[in-house]
Amino acid sequence: MSENIFEAKNLQKWFPVRRSITDLMKRRQSYVKAVDGVTFSIRRGEIFGLVGESGCGKTTTGKMLMKLLEPTGGQMLLDGQDVTHITAERLKTYRREVQMVFQDPYASMNPRFRIRDVLEEPLLIHKVGEDHQERLKMVARALTEVRLQPPEEYMERFPHMLSGGQRQRAATARSLILNPKFIVADEPVSMIDLSTRAEILHMMKQVQRELQLTYLYITHDLSTARYFTDTIAVMYLGRIVEMGDPDDVIDHPRHPYTMALIAAVCEPVSGKVNRIKDVPIKGEVPSAQNIPRGCRFHPRCLYAKEECWTQIEPELEIVEGRHWVACRRYKEI
């Protein structure tokens, strides 16, 4: 068993853009490069956070991991095995090993199904459990794992009869029922009330410890990521620009984008009301169809120099210990 449960090597997802007749004739094809070469490893038993704004490619990366999308380039390894493109048979076992918790807990369950049916479904799909009774026992066990007790009461309810937090627990229970190794959590608490958020995250951490799971935690909220994750990777326009220990990255950011993000985040402290916040960034996010030359962040970077757009894109390099950054000029900034 390797130390890394998951590895991505130059993973790419390019979406072809619909062509006009002229483009077709000139044989031009442009792409929306949602994920444009990400490389990272996730250690067994850790919570790996993928952080970024909308359009940075974090959700697309998550979906590739889930095999809901097929990579158009690069490599993915699960437990040392190449899983970039797999057969239908291998996919079946893959689905038992890798599961997902979605952002909207209500939309992720069929509203006409009772919780019991929602949770029984994965068992039926993978033909787990001898008979109905045994399956119900497994459902009850999963509900107990996520602290929805007594399970019998929750099994009978429909999703709309549960609160947001309870629904997300049920969704988590569904992802656990097949005993996966790896869970992709896509913004699992962003649609849940603040006062319940921590409760859900707490439950997720407990479950992780008890069942020895690994998480990929996707979010746009840096503060929650800091609290929850063991490693954090900041994505911008399809690439990872900085990665490392959350405390290190947030307290000592090296990439200008990370610095801008951190400056932009609001904090519940007094005294900031009449101050205009200084966010060290300019312009707007370009379209993923027209990725800037050189370092893709350069048009927005306050520190960009000529080398940033004339030379090829910088790769992730180690700053110190467990801290990587993809910036040509990080030493000077």
Phi first, then psi: give them for residue 216, nearest 5 degrees.
-105, 115
Q: Which is nearer to other proteins, 39 or 118 (CB)?
A: 118
Where does residue 267 rank: exposed (0-12), middle (13-18), buried (19+ CB within 10 A)? exposed
Give yes or no for residue 261 binding other proteins (CB under 8 A). Answer: yes
Which residue is it, tokens 């952002």? 103
Give yes or no for residue 95 binding other proteins (CB under 8 A). Answer: yes
Virtual torsion, Cα 194, 196, 201, 206, nearest 10 deg: 160
Question: Closest distance between other proteins and the C-beta of residue 310, in Å?
Answer: 26
Residue 173 in tokens: 């229970």
| Site stretch for other proteins (CB under 8 A), options 29-37, 206-214, 261-269, 321-329 | 261-269
Q: Which is nearer to other proteins, 153 or 315 (CB)?
A: 153
| CA atoms of 316 and 325, how far apart (whole Å) | 5
Q: Binders of other proteins among 99-158, rule CB under 8 A?
A: 99-100, 102-104, 106-112, 114, 121-122, 125-126
The dihedral region occupied by 255, where left means phi > 0, alpha psi between -120 and 50, and beta the remainder, is beta
Question: Closest distance between other proteins and the C-beta of residue 104, in Å?
Answer: 6
Q: Which is nearer to other proteins, 39 or 224 (CB)?
A: 224
Give yes or no for residue 19 binding other proteins (CB under 8 A). Answer: no
Q: Binders of other proteins among 166-205, rule CB under 8 A?
A: 171, 174, 178, 193-199, 201-202
Question: Closest distance between other proteins and the C-beta of residue 64, in Å?
Answer: 12
Q: Which is nearer to other proteins, 79 or 199 (CB)?
A: 199
Question: Closest distance between other proteins and the C-beta of residue 224, in Å?
Answer: 5
Q: Long-range contacts of range 13-16, CB-CB < 8 Å, 24 or more positions apart? A: 13/57, 13/60, 13/61, 13/64, 13/69, 13/71, 13/72, 13/73, 14/72, 14/73
Question: Closest distance between other proteins and the C-beta of residue 312, in Å?
Answer: 26
Q: Which is nearer to other proteins, 18 or 331 (CB)?
A: 18
Instruction: Tell me which residue of 285, 295, 298, 303 sits closest to 53, measured CA to CA.
Output: 285
3-class SS string, 223-286 = HHHHHHCCEEEEEECCEEEEEECHHHHHHCCCCHHHHHHHHHCCCCCCCCCCCCCCCCCCCCCC
DSSP state of 161: G
Q: Binders of other proteins among 44-83, rule CB under 8 A?
A: 53-54, 66, 68
Give yes or no for residue 161 binding other proteins (CB under 8 A). Answer: no
Q: Binders of other proteins among 204-243, rule CB under 8 A?
A: 220-224, 226-227
Question: Closest distance between other proteins and the C-beta of residue 274, in Å?
Answer: 7
| Site stretch for other proteins (CB under 8 A), options 12-20, 97-105, 208-216, 311-319 | 97-105
Q: Which is nearer to other proteins, 152 or 247 (CB)?
A: 247
Helix (H, G, I), strand (E, B) or coil at 184: strand
Question: Closest distance between other proteins and the C-beta of residue 115, in Å?
Answer: 13
| CA atoms of 180 and 207, how far apart (whole Å) | 12
Interface pick for other proteins out of 22, 160, 212, 332 (rule CB under 8 A): 160
| CA atoms of 30 and 26, how far apart (whole Å) | 12
Is 149:143 a contact under the CB 8 Å cutoff? yes
Binding track, positions 265-304, relative to other proteins; x by CB under 8 A: xxxxxxxxxx-xx-x-x--xx-------------------
